[in-house]
């Protein structure tokens, strides 16, 4: 997993949909995508649950936070890469069976996500505010990356500066052979942001689509 290369591509993608350039940076949020024809972007952001399809590659936009699940930009040959077919190409959504992990951790599912703080004050961050729901109704909590996690993994706890992003790998201890992701959630107080995965994932080649 190459954090610098991945980070640069994620930043470019995030900028295209209205994100700050990196953790600690500042910028004004972009215009909200219109998801519902009956709600304005402001009304939508105030709903108890806000969701967006993974295939749209945009932010789930809440009142205080945004959630983004990125396409893995450089699918690695040391992992098995899984993607969902869009109208145009295969979008690699997560990885598993990574040779850099051993034992039961090798079956973990790895996603690359960003959380954006859209307020004017620093806000706390907790890894346990994420969850992964499978398409058959099971729910999984994030797995800690260890006492000294790699720098490209999300931390257990921390703070997100005003108008900035925190991004990195998020891992769940779930077997890719039996778990089909349905939605990745982030709970922000009384609001839940979700990115929804539709369809059946397929293995994608390390060099791109299948």
The string of DSSP codes covering 86-119 is: -SSSEEEEEEE--TTS-GGGGG-EEEEEEEEE-S
Whether 170 maps to a domain, the answer reads: yes
DSSP label at 55?
G
Whether 210 maps to a domain, the answer reads: no
Whether 196 maps to a domain, the answer reads: yes
Whether 209 maps to a domain, the answer reads: no
Q: Which pLDDT value is given to residue 210?
A: 40
CA distance 138 to 123: 29
Count, residues in the chain: 210
Q: Which pLDDT value is given to residue 3?
A: 44
What residue ranges of the chain have pLDDT lower than 70? 1-39, 41, 44-45, 73, 75, 103-104, 145-150, 205-210
Q: Which pLDDT value is given to residue 10?
A: 52
Q: Which pLDDT value is given to residue 87?
A: 78
Q: What is the CATH number of the domain that holds 129?
A: 2.60.40.1240
Whether 61 maps to a domain, the answer reads: yes
Whether 50 maps to a domain, the answer reads: yes
Q: Which pLDDT value is given to residue 15?
A: 44
First to last CA, the chain: 20
Domains held by the chain: number: 1
Six-digit token pair at 198? Answer: 């539709």
Domain limits for position 151: 3-204
Whether 174 maps to a domain, the answer reads: yes
pTM of this structure: 0.78
CA angle 170, 83, 110 (to 5 degrees): 15
């Amino acid at each position: 997993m190459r954090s610098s290369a991945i980070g640069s591509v994620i930043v470019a993608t995030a900028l295209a949909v209205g994100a700050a350039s990196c953790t600690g940076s500042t910028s004004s949020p972009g215009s909200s995508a219109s998801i519902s024809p009956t709600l304005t972007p402001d009304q939508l952001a105030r709903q108890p649950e806000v969701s967006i399809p993974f295939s749209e590659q945009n932010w789930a936009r809440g009142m205080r936070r945004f959630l983004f699940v990125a396409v893995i930009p450089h699918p690695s040959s040391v992992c098995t890469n899984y993607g969902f077919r869009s109208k145009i190409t295969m979008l690699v959504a997560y990885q598993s069976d990574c040779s850099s992990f051993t034992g039961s951790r090798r079956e973990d599912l790895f996603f690359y996500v960003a959380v954006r703080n859209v307020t004017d004050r620093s806000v706390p961050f907790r890894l346990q505010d994420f969850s992964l729901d499978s398409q058959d109704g099971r729910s999984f909590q994030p797995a800690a990356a260890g006492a000294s996690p790699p720098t490209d993994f999300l931390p257990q706890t921390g703070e997100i500066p005003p108008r900035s992003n925190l991004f990195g790998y998020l891992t769940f201890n779930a077997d890719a052979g039996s778990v089909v992701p349905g939605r990745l959630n982030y709970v922000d107080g009384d609001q839940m942001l979700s990115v929804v995965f539709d369809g059946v994932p397929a293995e994608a080649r390390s060099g791109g689509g299948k």
